[in-house]
Structure 1
């Protein structure tokens, strides 16, 4: 393996249009910080680069929604994001901004060199134009009717009702989100990077040269390259961003995914005058930490840009994580279904390491994973409190009680096999943690830290020094055995501080404080040593490293999640209840009056959905098995655009039980489920507000 003399570690630049949530932390910032802290402990020459991405459509959309300027938006959220990272111990060497002058200069110069070298293609194409505002519109500024579900307010890139990915040309009656004006198409010129020209380089460098990359990263890149790369526009029509540095480019800015990764370079320039050592010398190891949605940009487009420009090192690895879900559902900022980092810090002061621990323990390293508040509670109480914290607290308490508050001597002449086993566990722990961290397996490394603490508890239980000191006479006779036990436990405590430091930095410092040792002890060269605390040295009284999370705290957080989502969906529904012109959407026309006898003909029953599956070749249909007490019925329901099969299993529903059977897609449907449609066009179940027996009659 190549020897690297310096390390350059980057973490994806978050958009400065909102705060960061736990999905962001778990995706790239926490693993990057763990890796950097480990490298620093090894005394490596390492720079950790971060910042906010302050250009692009999301910024301008947020500004429009909040009625402020884009600069106001990025100023506000840069501070919130920066403070959140700092509070959580994400230890950037610099946290910069893409609106800084040095970045504008760097990105402009990068583009201009590629342009001067003839590496761009110029193409004219027709794009939508808002005549009222005299601007070309990005996809998100175009709204219209979704061709899939009929949502009248779908965006030009996606319908948020049914989730379908769209292009502006697919919308029915597209219009401007800025003015509600009908759109026209006008010719516009842009500069494209012919990515297909870099396929041979990418195949050799990436597909042949980096087969050790994570499967999710390598597989996605291979699919893109195998399918053939196309020219991609590197400029956009906008007034917000880095202006294209050409005389005939009025109203055009650099594409945000051209501009943003150059932010790593410009931030390094801000950090050190020796920036070129980190970006241009072959003995630098460049590692990008990102989420899976950024893989193509960091593994194909940015490396192609670096290769085209010349003189820059290429990433040695891009250990991208998958997505973190929340309470079994996808995190959604628009529905406020998220745990925001700034809120967590307020609700759980001085417990940053608990969140770091849980997010690392459940990190989506190879597949999407889930965060739940119950799991947060269990991992804190059963692992941090009951294993890690318990061992250190017992050690410190017993040392003060049985050894006079001082580090006891170790008597080599009575060392036994149990002592040797603990010493071996410490040495093996160092080796296992180091190997896992070197290979970006952070969950595995953290599990090994807990395993070492578990070995400490096992050792302490076997030695049982409290039993050896049940009486003053017994203690006097067994003091050497007591000394050996607690001496090794104290050395293990110091080792646990070293092992845990990349993951739990606040906790590691607390342990150092109790042991009265300087932070220098956390250097990795000390890991595995049995001479970390000196014999005869007085130590501070024990303090609890972690406290239990109570049921009430969990219930409060879960309730808050649901309350926030309900408010967000209500606001969204209210907005969707207006047409683009601001008029309230008319309610459904009332139907003709019926007699009571007509209503009495309906047999409405409460049913429980036992099974659900999609109907083949029918996007809107689910096949359900519904228990109505006396029998189980097959019902075909047109709700597949609103619910997955997994979401409806166990739901109680109101069923029209005496509806004549009807065949749908070859399946006989024996009833109809009653549904309601809210103002946002979302279907909701008409069901009892408390569980009742299947088959109960609805009157």
Structure 2
């Protein structure tokens, strides 16, 4: 993976895979790609890099249809309500998306243009396949409408992809296929003629791409990519003979729709364009910012269960456009996040929504805990008791100690400026370097960044308590050094502790600077540290 120095000042397109609008976002969703993408985007802005961070929803997913049928409401109504709820949740959690795109005519036009160009270039092929079929309803069941056992790992899986092992299961490969809406419905299989993208045609290009990327991928993704490329790559369905989705415009497949997973790349092209327009930019076409002549850097933040689609099929779709579009420079993948040691399950009511948690826990503490317990390389667990204990002992208490001591110091010296030594400037630079190592893609780690906040905070709190603040013995340079390093820590923590950083920047003497710049100051003014909120349990 090229370093940021090698990449230069290219603008960065940050993609958080669009969530399915079949319900609100819960903490499990937020702990994965969203918090990771948001922290990286905030870091890029703090370093002065140009960034476009966007998201939207993928309404065409059959999961919307399945959920709506279970709830007894129209899928359009569920998607509409969910879109609003997802947008509001992202705002509530402080996710700094530059634009959250609607599912509208512009979205659909972008998808159709993307696939029609490939169809005209002869990239798709007609295949006769066998698909699960409901004799009761007279419809084919695909993706979120069907489940069974994975033919690769034998775990229960939805159609198209196994969340457990990450491998695809195409068409009639599920073992013991059954309906997700009506488990009593006995399924058969029937033939259907659909258009596919022959993935084997892109094997060489995918292999070349990953030969460069594999050393920099997180271990589980690297393992899955090797497994996928060691097997014949299955055809990727472009159309399905179902009624939910965007109508396919191809003469070979009348009455069919575009596979929702095909929409992924044109969808995020559209969200990127929407974000740019929200920032006041004008573009001639919704795919313009993804074109190779714009030379943008592209970063995906995805869950492990999305690797087959975003890491292979979507990449092949980009490659099928023969150099027209950029390919991702990096993919940051997370594992699953559990709730009280069980998998999040909306159907069983085993969920925790952000709005519920934020009624009892300040947003910064939630963001800190989601970063510290982030499922970067293995499944991790959300526990309310652990949040209270860890955030209280490792973040809130040392912050309160530091805040009280600096308030006492400020009362002693007043509003005068304090000198700063070379030692403090070196220490501030060291902190900036260590945090940057966590936020840059080469070693991206929210867990290490959150832990580093705790380590540096405890160090500064102890230092503050050891200072002699009596007027006769006060070391003004040592106090100035402490204030400088506290400023540096707040800047370094600002992509995670967003409310604390915003409040600190408004403090008298802080001057509002929160960038990752070199701290070459020769003097500082004392400033008051804002409070860091406590949970209801901690307050009690």
CA apart distance, 1:361: 0.8
| Contact map agreement 1:408 1:484 (CA 8 A) in 2 | no
| Deviates further, 296-305 or 322-331 | 322-331
Q: Structure 1 residue 341 and structure 2 residue 354: aligned? A: yes
* Match in the other structure for 1:436: 438
| Secondary structure of the structure 2 residue equivalent to 1:550 | helix
Are 2:373 and 1:373 aligned?
Answer: no
Ranges in structure 2 where 5+ consecutive residues have no aligned partner: 1-5, 151-155, 277-281
Partners of 1:485 and 1:174 in 2: CA distance: 70
Q: 1:284 to 1:173 in 2, by over 3 A?
A: closer
Matches for 1:152-163 after TM superposition, within 5 Å: none
Q: Give the equivalent residue in structure 2 for 1:597.
A: none
The structural deviation recorded for 1:156 is 7.4
Conservation of the 8 A alpha-carbon contact between 2:141 and 2:179: no
Supply the distance in 2 between the matched residues of 1:251 and 1:453 (Cα, whole angstroms).
Answer: 61
Residue number among 281, 289, 304 corresponding to 1:292 in the alignment: 304
Task: Give the distance between the partners of 1:291 and 1:122, measured in 2 at CA.
Answer: 31
Q: Which residue does the alignment assign to 1:227?
A: 231
Question: Comparing both chains, which one has the higher relative contact order based on Cα–Cα distances under 8 Å and sequence gaps of 6 or more?
Answer: 2
| Contact in 2 for aligned 1:3/1:283 (Cα 8 Å) | no
TM (norm. structure 2) is: 0.86
Please state if 1:307 is matched with 2:319: yes
Q: Secondary structure of 1:245's partner?
A: coil
For the residues of structure 1 that align with 2:92 and 2:144, how far apart are their CA atoms?
33
How is 1:320-335 mapped onto 2 (pairs within 5 angstroms)? 320-335=333-348
Once the two structures are superposed, the pairs formed by residues 413-452 of structure 1 within 5 Å of their partners are: 422-438=424-440, 439=442, 440-452=444-456
1:125 aligns with 2:120: no
Equivalent runs, 1:629-644 vs 2, <5 Å: none
Residue in 2 that maps onto 1:69: 74
CA contact (8 A) 1:354 1:380 kept: yes
| Distance in 1 of aligned mates of 2:159 and 2:304 | 23
How far did residue 432 of structure 1 move?
Answer: 0.8
Kept after mapping to 1: 8 A contact 2:101/2:275: no
Deviation at 1:530, TM superposition (A): 3.6
Gaps (5+ residues) in structure 1?
Answer: 147-152, 413-418, 470-474, 554-699
How do residues 195-594 of structure 1 correspond to structure 2 at under 5 angstroms? 195-272=199-276, 273-274=282-283, 276-281=288-293, 283-310=295-322, 311-348=324-361, 351-400=362-411, 402-404=412-414, 406-410=415-419, 422-438=424-440, 439=442, 440-465=444-469, 469=470, 475=471, 477-479=472-474, 481=475, 483-515=476-508, 517-519=510-512, 521-525=513-517, 527-530=518-521, 533-534=524-525, 543-547=530-534, 550=537
Q: 1:529, CA displacement in angstroms?
A: 4.1
Alpha-carbon separation, structure 2, partners of 1:139 and 1:31? 27
* Counterpart Cα distance in 2 of 1:159 and 1:117: 31
Q: What's 1:27 paired with?
A: 32
Measured in 2, the distance between the counterparts of 1:139 and 1:279 equals 31
8 Å Cα contact 1:235-1:252 kept in structure 2: yes
- Contact 1:322/1:367 (CA < 8 Å) preserved in 2? yes
TM-score, normalised to structure 1's length?
0.68
- In the alignment, the residues of structure 2 paired with residue 145 and residue 201 of structure 1 have an alpha-carbon distance, to the nearest angstrom, of 31
User: Hey, what does 1:116 align to over in structure 2?
Assistant: 120
Q: Deviations over 1:128-173 (max 9, x none)?
A: 4446644333365468999xxxxxx99878999xxxx998687779
Distance 1:393 1:142, change over 3 A: same
Residue 522 of structure 1 aligns to a residue whose secondary structure is coil
Report which of the two structures shows the higher radius of gyration computed on alpha carbons. Answer: 1
Q: What's 1:652 paired with?
A: none
- Partners of 1:282 and 1:249 lie apart in 2 by 35
Taking a change above 3 Å as real, the CA distance of residues 464 and 230 of structure 1, as seen in their structure-2 partners, is: same
The match for 1:89 among 85, 90, 94 is 94
Query: Which of the numbers 139, 142, 156 marks the counterpart of 1:138?
Result: 142
Indicate the SS of the match to 2:506: helix
Q: Secondary structure at the match of 1:127?
A: strand
Quote the offset at 1:83 in angstroms: 0.8
Q: Structure 1 pair 173/63, CA: closer, same or farther in 2 (3 Å)?
A: closer
- Equivalent residues of 1:393, 1:544 under 8 A apart: no
The CA distance in 2 between the partners of 1:17 and 1:486, in whole Å, is 54
Task: State the Cα distance separating 1:546 from its structure 2 match.
Answer: 2.8
Shift in alpha-carbon separation, 1:549–1:394, aligned structure 2, 3 A: farther
